[in-house]
Each structure stands twice: as structure tokens, then as C-alpha cells.
Amino acid sequence: MSNTTTIQVRVNGVSRTEEVQPRLLLVHYLRDVLGLTGTHIGCETSLCGACTVMVDGAAVKSCTLLAVQTDGCEVETIESLATDDGLHPIQEAFWDCHGLQCGFCTPGMIMATRQLLQENPSPSEEEIRHGLEGNICRCTGYKHIVDAVKQAAEQMKAGT
Amino acid sequence: MPVSKLVGTKVKRREDPRLVQGLSHYVDDLRMADVMHAAILRSPHAHARINGINTDAARALSGVVTVLTGADIGDSVGSVPCAAANPTLRTPPHPVLAQDEVRYVGEPVAVAVAGDSYTARDALDLIEVDYEPLPAVSDLEKALQPGSPLVHSQWDSNQAFTFECGTGDMDKARAEADVIVKQKFIHQRLAPIPVETRGVVARYFPGEDELTVWSSTQIPHLLRAMLALMLNFPEHRIRIIAPEVGGGFGCKLNVYREEGLLAHLAMKLKGTVKWIEGRRENMQATIHGRGQVGTVEAAVKKDGTILGVTYDSLLDTGAYHQLLTPGMPPLTGLMISGSYKIPTLKFTSTGGFTNKVATDAYRGAGRPEATLVIERTLDLIARELDMDPVELRRKNFAQPSDFPLQVATGLAYDSGNYQAALDRALEMVGYQDLRAEQQRLREQGRYLGIGFSTYVEICAMGPSAALPAGGWESGTVRMDFTGKATVLTGVSPHGQGEETTFAQIVSDDLGVPIEDVAVLHGDTAVVPNGIGTFGSRGISVGGTAVYMATQQVREKAEAIAANVLECSTDDLEFEDGKFTVKGVPDKGITIQEVALQAHVATKLPAGMEPGLQATSVFEPSNFTFPFGTHICVVEVDTQSGEIEIKKYVAVDDCGKVINPMIVDGQVQGGIAQGLGQALLEEVVYDEDGQLVTGSLMDYAVARAEDLPQLEFDRTETPSPVNPMGVKGVGEAGTIGSTPSIVNAVVDALAPFGVKHIDLPLKPEKIWRLCQGGNK
Amino acid sequence: MIPAAFDYIVPDSLEAAAASLAEAGDNGKVMAGGHSLLPMMKLRLAQPGVVIDLKRLDSLRRIQVDGGTLRIGALVTHHQVETSSEVKDNCALLARVAGSIGDPQVRNRGTIGGSVVHGDPAADWPAALLAMGAELTLTSSGGARSMAAGDFFLGPLTTAIEASEILTGLSVAVPAAGTRAAYRKVKQKASGFAIVGIAVCLQADGDTCTDVGIGVTGLAGTPFRATAVEDQLRGKALTADNITAAAAGVADGVDALDDIHASGEFRAHLARLNTARAIQDALGG
Ligand SMILES: Cc1cc2nc3c(=O)[nH]c(=O)nc-3n(C[C@H](O)[C@H](O)[C@H](O)COP(=O)(O)OP(=O)(O)OC[C@H]3O[C@@H](n4cnc5c(N)ncnc54)[C@H](O)[C@@H]3O)c2cc1C
Ligand code: FES
Ligand code: FES
């Protein structure tokens, strides 16, 4: 019953080849097989966004994807953002603006922000709130998250 | 006194770099060798007898280590504890796995342990349970009526306890009153929903005969004590670690079946066992908040003077008591006076067992109920007397000169200036213009409403005399050889930022850079003793302990410095981390050098112990009472029933502020949950006790778009209860916000004759209320 | 959270996919974005023995305009529809509806074909496809057929697709210049699905309605086209009174869904209210 399939995935720039059960969820593959535990699990119904990662440049909920569906894909997780030069501007902005409290939603929130700013480098407040509709934060009340996204947008525009 | 450099300023949080990179370790992130995974089979019935459980097929599944039922465990693990003291309390046995009966949907029935989580989950499908359904009761009021199905058949009713408090003669108040206002309130059940669910990893070391439990908890030390009792295993051989914790909001201020169960499994299997709660399990089996029904009666003079208030209430305890279940009504009762001088107050509560999961502390814990009742009552009175709700509040407010304020519930409020917060909020919102605007819009058939909440709450839990398991907190400050400081605190932060705020306090008072201060918490092997994080006590109780320990360290450092510099301590000045002899600025010693001396121990004053550390255990003499005014302005679409928040102003007073950024964050997060309670959130069970809101598909929490733009300000009235003058802010936003939103909506719908609406204010309810047309 | 085990097949061609599906019979499920199927499998409400992943069928991922017809492949994601200039230029309603589905992450994976076949009574696509009179194309080992959207939806999670069929795409006639459209969705606050969703596509000559299509989702177990409302509007002046009067009939004879989020009575009310409001939106926008 537990048949396996071989998949090849580039995760945070590193090629991985792995035998997995087809039913293995991407989030479990990342966390349990690769040890990338920055991607969190907050629900069972694809509604919290804590598990958000990028697959081929698009934000997805990794709890709602099979690892086998990403065979041949490029996956980026929260662990890929900071470099030797320091934090990514979005991470920096979340820190500056107190966009997190318990931090559990944060990796997903940051990945969702990344997608948002990719598509809309200068979002309005309303667009930010709308763009984060797939992510729940129970701690912050979102205001500081919105501030962080605004700051990150400014910074990233200045940086490019 | 050293000058504050960091205290009172926006210091960026030191916990954030690891969190924004996803490098922190919540329970599920811990990587351990040979870990076994547990999955729990839960009751699909609200009430049923278990006639038998067949685990053969599950045990036979390849990869399964063991499958246990309640019968297998028997009495080898004791009852889940309830710490609340109440002489009328009926405490049913609360086993880690159901024994012969299940009493709520989600009650644990069996556990499967396997080498991996997928196999453990598969095993659950192979367990066969023979249930015989029994009559269930879900509705609280029905549960307390004669003839109701009994949740626990050993008693003749579902009454779980009774409680009352208050003083004064209500009959007299009624007789003297011009008006009596009465209203029934339903405080719906809420699910706390930390984004991280619960999770436990338990590891037994057979050689050492030691048990380590990692749990997503707010109270590692209390959990250790309780587990020792449940397992009948020495407390000193148990180590509890609360690793990074992804939110709690009260629901992790508890001891759960799974903690006892996992510890038992680890000891039985002599290894490491892990269980991570799924969100649906979380909805079913983690405590719910609120769950009260009550009726208020207020006796009032025509001029608005409130003579007396009674509030008779019921608490939906659920099927079993959790740690503090019966402790919630007292918090409601004690705060029922709000920020008003009311000479007569009477509160009663009766707890009722129902076939539902237990209720217990959820952000605010009993106080939101009190605040909603009294703030709504004020508006009901204002309506009855045709008085402006602001005037009515002013009329009944306690004045600054009244503090410490003896309240008829028995409490003494520490300090307050309610009028100042209200005035500031009125100014920010532009009250007079708003009333004119409301009038103008009504003429166009648009319905604007303005709602107030001039709340006061009770924080800094608290004097030990008032809590079931100690209200003190410990703080240790230590400077090592190299002059770095380590702080050990018994509070167990999970988002509140004490790694930063406590370091601010220590850094200022010892004059060491904040980078040189480490704040350790959440590990019973590291922190000698403690109580935990809840009841907005982090800064006010835990922070005070750290503050006091810091002063002791500085005094000792001063004595060492004087000895080294060969002068008297009176001759020393301390600034920027350096002791200098007054008038001889180049004769000095840094605190780091003092720390070295303290350890080298050759130049210590006679009789002084080496080392530079102090532990303080702070026992607060009283609670603190933060307060503030929240004003909400809504427009109601009477056709769709939708509510738009046009403006929201919050002026909060939490005493002295250590880090304004963190205080703002606490208030904002609190408002989001209070708004959720007002507009969105409701745990729904059907009549048979089936949980209808069993996942986030049906239980709505606020998303970014649901929140309005918020405007904030603060007043600062220090608390006399602790040396820093801090009060606490973790729950203020939740407690203060809900009533302002409801009051605004009721105000908007006044033309429809609407006087009260129970929560949540879902569009259908609003639409129905407007169906009668504008009256 | 953990699906039951299954076999996983990734066919290279439509033919191979159809053959695999035929072979698997009732035990097989095709997977497009997986954003309806996988959530059900995670809760073990669906336990297919074989999952046939369509991800290699790139030919089903295209959006094309040929002549007066807009063709959208079954594997086109909601996000692709939302952002496609072909769609925005030729049929803005579809882009608007796509943008109202779920959240950005869901829209990145979920497909129009998967949504249509899944047949969720609270899904958004049916409203738009019914309002626009879309045609669906279905293929099996036995050949291809097409079917009007109006005939496709049969009930909650039930459609006219055969177990052996794969939806390959759908087409709509590009609306005439000057066509106005709008979509109004009342969201279920927890799940984000529609309590009711009303799509309107309308043509007017001056202020007289010359043609109109109205699709309704969320209200009933089956999404439907509000033909009675359409009939009442056609040829009439689009005054507020006429609109309200016509919209008032949208729930007549409909067995409205009833749950904790909205009673049948309220859903019917919301359908009426939002039908009128959607028509107003279309006229305004
Ligand atoms: C969090 C969340 C929120 C959502 N919110 C909304 C919302 O607001 N509105 C809304 O409309 N939807 C919503 N959805 C559903 C979403 O739009 C799904 O993507 C869509 O319903 C299914 O598309 P899919 O490609 O993911 O299909 P899949 O999940 O892959 O498949 C769904 C079903 O269709 C079958 N199927 C798929 N493609 C084909 C095909 N080409 N031929 C034959 N059979 C096929 C499958 O076998 C399966 O039975 C939401 C989903 C999630 C997870
Ligand atoms: S865990 Fe993926 S959306 Fe919640
Ligand atoms: S920071 Fe705790 S959930 Fe967002």
C-alpha cells in the first residue's frame, strides 16, 4: 500500500531527490524530510496560511499540495530569504514594525507578503489587507503587519 | 536611581530575528532521534457508553508500536486537575482517556503510537469502538432544569458549583430607584485559536529515571507540579520545557489530558513520544472561553445615579473541569462594578455541566463578560433615561481622588483617572460632530452608531490569596565572570516580548548594553520556580520580580565597588554602568569589572558571598486595574445586515509603559479578538451536542480586511502596587473593545427600537431586527 | 490532516489520462489544482485509490480568443484568469469572479476546471459561467462532447460529468461591446466561500435592457440561471423599481440552503438584494 515515487525538487536552491509516498504533503516533506521547520502548520482546512511557501515563484499553501505535485519544481521557504548580508527587507520590516508577536504565523505571512509585493510593488493599505486574506494572525491585530508591508514595499523599491 | 535609557522607549524585539527567519523551535519543530508519534481517537458522540473497544487491527498494522484505551491505562494516571477552590464544587473524575463513558465530542478514547505520524493516523481508522449513545444535553439553561439528561449520573443534577459575591441591599436600592433596567445577556462560547495548536513531546530517560516534557504551555512550573500529581512521580525528576510557543490566549494556561497521556506513554514505552494537535482536535478538545448566560438588573435614579446592580448568571462549564473552569465567574463578579461607583452590587453564578468541552480562561477570562454587561447596562440606562451615554458615564465614574477605590464587590482598585481617558477619546473621535452627523444621516435613511466602552479591568494576577496556585513570580538576575547578565523569569512568554522588556529594565538599571542581557524562561530546569504567563501579569508581577532582583544585584555591585575603590558606598555614583567616586571622575570601576571581582572573589567585603546574583520572588499586594475608553463608530446597512466600522478610537491606560511599541501591539491584537467576539466568532454545538463549528471552515476569526483603521492614544496613571508603576496590558484590548462595538450597533439601530443584541452581531441578526422597519 | 494512501499517476497526454481514468473506474480521481480534492482527502472524506494528476497536460492550460469565442483550458488557474489580459479585455466579469475566489494562494493553484467539476454549491465560477452561457468540453476514451453550463450542475458536489470523463475546457461567446457585468458575493466569513454570489451580464439600449444573463450561486444546492428575473428585465427600462421588482423573484421556487451562516430565508433575501445590487453595479460600472 505504501508505494513510493521518486521526486526531484529544488528547495531553496538545492536539488533534492527523494523517495516519497504519494500522499506525503509538501509541508510534511519540507518539515519532516528536509528539516525545514520554518514552514508551520496552523489548520487542517487550508485557511490559515501559516504553511505558505513559493512554488515556481507563486505563493501556495504547502498543506494543500502533495510533495509529488512539486516534482520538477522550484520551492522556496522562509529559510531562503535571509542571506549572509542579512535579513530580507520584508523580514527586516516585520522586525522594525513589530509585525509579529508569537511569530507562528510570521513565516507564512512573510511569504504571502513576498507574493503580494511581487505582483504589486506599491500596494495601498486596502490592497495589503486584501492581499493577505489567506493568512491568519491571531496575535497582532494586523495593523503592524500592514505597516511592515508598507515599509518593505518602500525599501524594496528603493533597493531596485 | 540610574536614568532610564531604554525603559519607556521603542526597543525592537530581540526575539524577532529568529522568528522572522523561521529558525525558532516550536514543539513540532523539535528534532529528536527515535521519536514515536501518537494519534488520538476521539469520541464522535456527545454522550455515549463505551461497551467495548477492539484495537486488534490497529495493533496489527505495520509500524504501530502500541494502542491504548482507557481500560489499558486504568488508574495508572490520575485525574486531570482542577485548581479552583470552591466549597460547592462538584469535581467529576477526568481521566486521560475515557473510561466507560464519553461526555463530549472530541473526548479522547484511545491512542495509537507508531513510528511515524502517517501510520499513527492510519491506525485510528482501524480501531473499532462499540458506543451506546446516551441522551446528551448541550444547552446550558436546559441542563440546569429538572429532568435534564445528566452529564454525570453520580449526581442528581448538572449543577457544578455556585458562587456569589457583592455587598449592599438590593431591595432598598430597588425601592429608592426611579427606574429598573433589566436585560438578559448571552456570552457565546469562543475558541481561543492560537495559530499554533497544542503539542506535546514527552521523553523518559530510564537510566536517570527522569521525565522531560516539552509542551506548548503558558505555565511550565505549574504543569510540572500537576503532572507530578497525575503521574505520582516526583516533581524534581520532571523537567518541563515550554519551547517557542505560538500563542496561548489562556487556552495554554491549563493542564490537559494529552500532557498526562504523553508522559505516561513515554514512561511506559521508555522513549520519546510526540503528539501535535490538529486544528479540528483543537476546536473539539482545547478549552473554550466565555459561555455564560445571565440577567442584569440595575436600580437607577432619574438623574442617572446608579444605586445598585445585580447580575445572576450561569456558566456553561462543559463536561469536565479544566484547571480554572470554576474560577471564571468570580472574575466576572468581582469586576461587575466597572469604572463606576455603585454602592450595591450582587453577583451570583451557577455552573452547569453540559455535554461539551470545558470552558476556561480565554483572553480576558471572566472580565469581558463583566465589562460587556456593565457597559451595555450603562447604555440601556442612558436609553431609558434619554441621557447621553457619555453624561451618564461621567455622572457615575469613580474620580481620581477616590483611589484606592473600595468597590462593593470587595476589590480595592489601585489607581485611575477614567475621565481623562474618556475626554481624550472624545476629542480624538470628534464626538459632538458625530452626533450631528448621525442625525443628518438618519434623515437620509443611513444608520450611524456611536458606542462607548469606558472599561476597567483587573490585571497583574495576583495576590496569592486570590489565586488557587500562587500569584507570586520569581526573577533571578545574574552577572557572570565576563560581565554578561542572565535573567531567569518564571513567566513564560509566548509573544508578549519579555525577552525584550525585561532586558530593557535590567539594561537600564545595571548599565549594561541590552545585547549583554539574556532572558531565559520556559524551562523548569533553568528557572528555579515560577507561575507562568496569564492574567496580564508578565510585566507587573514577573517584571517586578526581575526589577527587584536587579536592584539587589546593583546594591551588591555597589558594595563590591566601594570595597575595590576603598571608599564608602555613599561616596559612589552610578552612571552608564560605572561606579565612580563622587568628585573623582577618573576613579571608578565598571559593573563588568565588578562582576569579575565578584567571581574572582579576592576583594569582596568581609563576609560577602562570592558571585553577583539575586533572586526575588514578588508577591503583589493587590491586583492592578488598567482602564481606558474605546469609542467605535459604525454604519449599519440595514438591508444586508452588514456592519462597517467607520472609526475606532482607543485610549488605554496601563500605567507606566516599558516599551510603547509592544504595548500598542498588545492592544491591537486584543482589539482584533474583541472585535471577533463582537462580530464574527461563535462556537456552535447543535442540540445533540455535535460541534457544528468544528474547523476554521465554520469558525471565523478576524482577518486583515475585517479590521478597521485604529487610532490610539494613551494616558499614564502609575500603579502604586509595584515599584515600576506598571499595570499590564495583555487583555485590555479584548476586554475594552467588544462593548464599544455592540453599543455602537445598538445605537445605530435605535430608530428601529433595538435596545440590545447578543453577540456575535451577524448580518442575519441585524437584518431581522430591522425588519420591523424604522419606528 | 493526513490523506489515506493511494496510487499516483501522472499521464503525459490527454489520451493516457482518459485511459488511466477508465481503468481506475470509481476508484480513480483526476487531480487538477487539488484545492478541493486534497482538502477532502486530508479529512478522509475522499479516499480515492488512484489519483491521476493532470499537471503535464499543458494544452489544457491555455487562454485563447478565437473569433468571437474566449476559450479557457480546464487547468487554467483562477489567478491566470484574474490577471490575463485576454480575459480582462474580452470578458472582465470572469477576471472579477476569479479574483473573488479564496485567497491569493488558493487562486495560484485552483483551476477553473476543477472548480466546475467539483460542483460546490457555494463556488463562484458557476455564477459567472451560467450568466454567460458557457459551453463545457468533456473528453473520455470514448470521445469528446460538449455541454451547456446550464445542464452541467445537478446538485451539491454533483455534476453531469461521467466518471470516465475529463473536462478539457470551456468557452464563452465574447460579449458584445458595451456589455456590462458585475459580480456580487456575500462571503461566508470563515471559509470565504459564497453565501450567495450573483453574476450579471447585461446589455442595454439607452436605458432599456436588451439582454441579460444572471447566474446565482450559494443560494441553493445547485447553482442556477435566474431565467425568470432575466425574462422580466428584458425589454424593460432599467429603473430602480423595475430592477428591484425583477430581482425580487430570484429565489422564487428555490429550495434555499440553510446553515449556521445564513438561514434559507436570509439567503433568499440576500439573493434578492444582491441581484438588484449587482444589476445596479453593472449599470454603474
Ligand atoms: C482555502 C480555500 C478557499 C477556497 N475558496 C473558494 C471560494 O471562495 N470560491 C470558490 O469558488 N472556490 C474556493 N475554493 C475552491 C477552489 O477554487 C478550488 O481550486 C476549486 O474548487 C477546485 O479546483 P482544483 O483545480 O483545485 O480541483 P481539484 O481539487 O484538483 O479537483 C476537484 C474535483 O474536480 C475533479 N477534476 C478536477 N479537474 C478535472 C478535470 N479537468 N476533469 C474532470 N474532473 C476534474 C477532481 O477529480 C475532483 O473531484 C477554495 C479552496 C480552498 C482550499
Ligand atoms: S496549515 Fe496550510 S493553510 Fe493552514
Ligand atoms: S504573531 Fe502570533 S499568530 Fe501572528
Q: What is the pLDDT of residues B686-696, one digit of tens each?
A: 999 999 999 99
pLDDT above 70: residue B3 = no
- The CATH number corresponding to A5-79 among 3.40.50.970, 3.10.20.30, 1.20.140.10, 1.10.10.10 equals 3.10.20.30
User: SS3 for B296?
Assistant: strand
The maximal CA–CA distance of chain B, rounded, in angstroms, is 87
DSSP letter for each residue of C3-15: PPP-EEE--SSHH
Chains A and C form CB pairs within 8 A to the count of 88
For residue C82, the number of C-alpha atoms closer than 13 Å in the C-beta half-sphere is: 21
For residue B403, the 8-state DSSP code is P
C34 C-beta closer than 6 A to ligand 1: yes
B116 part of contact set with chain C, CB < 8 Å = no
Sequence ranges of the domains in chain A: 5-79, 89-159
pLDDT above 50: residue B265 = yes
CATH code of the domain containing C44: 3.30.43.10
B640 part of contact set with chain C, CB < 8 Å = yes
Regarding beta strands C143-148 and C135-140, do their DSSP bridges make them parallel or antiparallel, or are they unpaired? Answer: antiparallel
Please tell me the least confidently modeled range out of B224-228, B285-289, B321-325, B617-621: B617-621
Kindly identify the ligand whose nearest atom is closest to the C-alpha of A100: 3
Q: CB-CB: which of C2, C191, C273 is closest to B639?
A: C273
Chains B and C form CB pairs within 8 A to the count of 45
What's the grid cell of residue C61? 492550460
Q: What is the pLDDT of residues C161-172, one digit of tens each?
A: 999 999 999 999
For residues C212 and C165, membership in a common domain is answered with no
Residues of A (18-57) whose Cβ lies below 8 Å from B? 21, 23-24, 28, 31-32, 35-45, 47-48, 50
A42 C-beta closer than 6 A to ligand 2: yes
Measured from the Cα of A52, ligand 2's closest atom is: 2
Q: What is the pLDDT of residues B290-302, one digit of tens each?
A: 999 999 999 999 9
pTM tops 0.95, yes or no: yes
pLDDT attached to residue B462:
78
| Fold type of domain B16-22+472-618 | Aldehyde Oxidoreductase; domain 4 (3.30.365)
Closest to B242 (Cα-Cα) out of B468, B11, B407, B24: B24
Sequence-ordered alpha helix ranges (H) in C63-141: 78-83, 85-90, 92-99, 104-109, 112-118, 125-131
Residue numbers of the domain that contains C37: 7-53
- The CATH number corresponding to B289-461+622-770 among 3.30.70.100, 3.90.1150.10, 3.40.50.300, 3.30.365.10 equals 3.30.365.10
CATH code of the domain containing C119: 3.30.465.10
Distance from CA of B157 to the nearest CA of A (A): 37
Q: Is residue C217 part of a domain?
A: yes
Q: Are B117 and B28 in contact (CB under 8 A)?
A: no
Q: What is the pLDDT of residues B125-135, one digit of tens each?
A: 999 999 999 99
Spatial distance between the Cα atoms of B631 and B91, rounded to a whole number of angstroms: 42
Residue from A100, A113, A146 whose mutation best tests the ligand 3 pocket (most atoms within 8 A of CB): A100
Angle, CA of B621, B627 and B633, to the nearest 5°:
165
CB contact under 8 A, A104 and B26: yes
For residue B115, the 8-state DSSP code is S
For residues C86 and C110, membership in a common domain is answered with yes
Q: How far is the CA of B698 from the centre of ligand 1 (A)?
A: 19
The maximal CA–CA distance of chain A, rounded, in angstroms, is 54
Instruction: Describe the crossing of helices B544-565 and B498-510 by its angle, rounded to 10 degrees.
Output: 30
pLDDT attached to residue B469:
83
For residues C207 and C244, membership in a common domain is answered with yes
User: SS3 for C215?
Assistant: strand
Sequence ranges of the domains in chain B: 16-22+472-618, 32-134+195-247+252-285, 289-461+622-770
Kindly report the number of other CB atoms within 10 A of residue B692's CB atom: 13
Last residue in a domain, options C145, C173, C201? C173
Mean pLDDT of chain B: 96
Instruction: Spell out where B191-276 has E strands.
Output: 199-205, 210-215, 238-241, 272-276
Residue B514 burial by CB count (10 A; 0-12/13-18/19+): exposed, middle or buried? middle
DSSP letter for each residue of B444-476: TT-EEEEEEEEEE--BS---GGGSTT---EEEE
Identical fold for domains B16-22+472-618 and B32-134+195-247+252-285, yes or no, is no
CB contact under 8 A, A104 and B249: no
For residues C65 and C169, membership in a common domain is answered with yes
A136 C-beta closer than 6 A to ligand 3: no
Q: Is residue C205 part of a domain?
A: yes
pLDDT attached to residue B130:
98
User: SS3 for B77?
Assistant: coil
CA torsion sign for A99, A104, A107, A113 is negative
CB contact under 8 A, A136 and B701: yes
Q: Is residue C169 part of a domain?
A: yes
CATH code of the domain containing C270: 3.30.390.50
Beta bridge partners of B428: none
- Contact residues on chain C for B699, CB-CB shorter than 8 A: 190
For residues C126 and C108, membership in a common domain is answered with yes
For residues C169 and C65, membership in a common domain is answered with yes
Q: What is the pLDDT of residues B29-39, one digit of tens each?
A: 999 999 999 99
Q: How far is the CA of A107 from the centre of ligand 3 (A)?
A: 10
Residue of the CA atom closest to atom 4 of ligand 3: A137
pLDDT attached to residue C285:
54
pLDDT above 60: residue B1 = no
Distance from CA of B640 to the nearest CA of C (A): 7
pLDDT above 80: residue B584 = yes
Residue of chain A with shortest Cα separation from B672: A141
For residues C99 and C201, membership in a common domain is answered with no
CB contact under 8 A, A5 and C34: no
pLDDT attached to residue B84:
87
Residue B78 burial by CB count (10 A; 0-12/13-18/19+): exposed, middle or buried? middle
Residue of chain A with shortest Cα separation from B195: A42
Beta bridge partners of B173: none
CB contact under 8 A, A23 and B118: yes
Mutation for testing the B interface, residue in A11, A24, A102, A147 having most B CBs under 10 Å? A102
Q: Is residue C187 part of a domain?
A: yes
Closest to B771 (Cα-Cα) out of C279, C275, C265: C265
Q: What is the pLDDT of residues A8-24, one digit of tens each?
A: 999 999 999 999 999 99
Spatial distance between the Cα atoms of B249 and B365, rounded to a whole number of angstroms: 9
Q: Is residue C255 part of a domain?
A: yes
Q: CB-CB: which of A64, A68, A131 is closest to C8?
A: A68
Q: Provide the CATH number for the domain formed by A89-159 in this structure.
A: 1.10.150.120
b/e map B361-373, b = 16+ CB within 10 Å: bbbbbbbbbbbbb
pLDDT above 70: residue B447 = yes
For residue C29, the number of C-alpha atoms closer than 13 Å in the C-beta half-sphere is: 18
CB contact under 8 A, A61 and C105: yes
Mutation for testing the C interface, residue in B37, B122, B282, B640 having most C CBs under 10 Å? B640
A48 C-beta closer than 6 A to ligand 2: yes
Q: Quote the distance between the C-alpha of residue B411 and its chain's center.
A: 20
- What Rg, from alpha-carbon coordinates, does chain B have? 28
For residues C279 and C188, membership in a common domain is answered with yes
Q: What is the pLDDT of residues B146-178, one digit of tens each?
A: 999 999 999 999 999 999 999 999 999 999 999
pLDDT above 70: residue A1 = no
- Contact residues on chain B for A82, CB-CB shorter than 8 A: 21
- Residue B367: which residues within 8 A CB-CB, separation 6 or more? B331, B332, B335, B457, B458, B731, B735
Q: How far is the CA of C165 from the centre of ligand 1 (A)?
A: 16
DSSP letter for each residue of A95-150: HHTT--SS-SSHHHHHHHHHHHHHH-SS--HHHHHHHTTT---SSS-SHHHHHHHH
Spatial distance between the Cα atoms of C271 and B153, rounded to a whole number of angstroms: 48
Mutation for testing the C interface, residue in B697, B761, B766, B769 having most C CBs under 10 Å? B697
CA torsion sign for C31, C32, C33, C36 is negative
Residue of chain C with shortest Cα separation from B767: C266
Kindly report the number of other CB atoms within 10 A of residue B661's CB atom: 19
C113 C-beta closer than 6 A to ligand 1: yes
* Cα distances (angstroms) measured from residue A50 to each of A41, A130, C82, C146: 6, 17, 24, 41
Q: Are B719 and B725 in contact (CB under 8 A)?
A: yes
| Fold type of domain B32-134+195-247+252-285 | Aldehyde Oxidoreductase; domain 3 (3.90.1170)
Chains A and B form CB pairs within 8 A to the count of 182
A61 C-beta closer than 6 A to ligand 2: yes
Could you tell me the mean pLDDT of each successive run of 10 residues in chain C, 285 residues long? Answer: 97 97 95 98 97 98 95 98 96 97 98 98 98 97 96 97 97 94 98 98 94 98 98 96 97 97 98 98 86
Spatial distance between the Cα atoms of B669 and B735, rounded to a whole number of angstroms: 11
Q: What is the pLDDT of residues B561-572, one digit of tens each?
A: 999 999 999 999
Closest to C142 (Cα-Cα) out of C19, C29, C24, C50: C19
Name the strands in the sheet holding B289-300, side by side, starting at the edge strand that comes first in the sequence: B159-167, B344-353, B306-318, B289-300, B179-190
Residue from B16, B24, B195 whose mutation best tests the ligand 3 pocket (most atoms within 8 A of CB): B195
Closest to B490 (Cα-Cα) out of B505, B474, B477, B506: B474
C45 part of contact set with chain A, CB < 8 Å = no
- Residue B444: which residues within 8 A CB-CB, separation 6 or more? none
Q: How far is the CA of B764 from the centre of ligand 1 (A)?
A: 28
Kindly identify the ligand whose nearest atom is closest to the C-alpha of A106: 3
- Contact residues on chain C for B278, CB-CB shorter than 8 A: 1
Q: Give the whole-number percent of chain A exceeding pLDDT 70.
A: 98
b/e map A52-63, b = 16+ CB within 10 Å: bbbbeebbbbbb
C192 part of contact set with chain A, CB < 8 Å = yes
* Cα distances (angstroms) measured from residue B274 to each of B219, B271, B285: 19, 10, 17
pLDDT above 70: residue B775 = no
What is the rounded (10 degree) CA torsion for A52, A58, A60, A62? -70
pLDDT attached to residue C115:
98
Beta bridge partners of C7: C50
Q: Is residue C81 part of a domain?
A: yes
In this prediction, the answer to ipTM > 0.95 reads yes
Number of domains in chain C: 3
Last residue in a domain, options C173, C192, C213? C173
DSSP letter for each residue of A23-74: T-BHHHIIIIIS--TTS----SSS-S-TTEEEETTEEEEGGGSBGGGGTT-E
pLDDT above 70: residue A106 = yes
Q: How far is the CA of B279 from the centre of ligand 1 (A)?
A: 22
Please tell me the least confidently modeled range out of A42-46, B538-542, C164-168: B538-542
CB contact under 8 A, B15 and A40: no
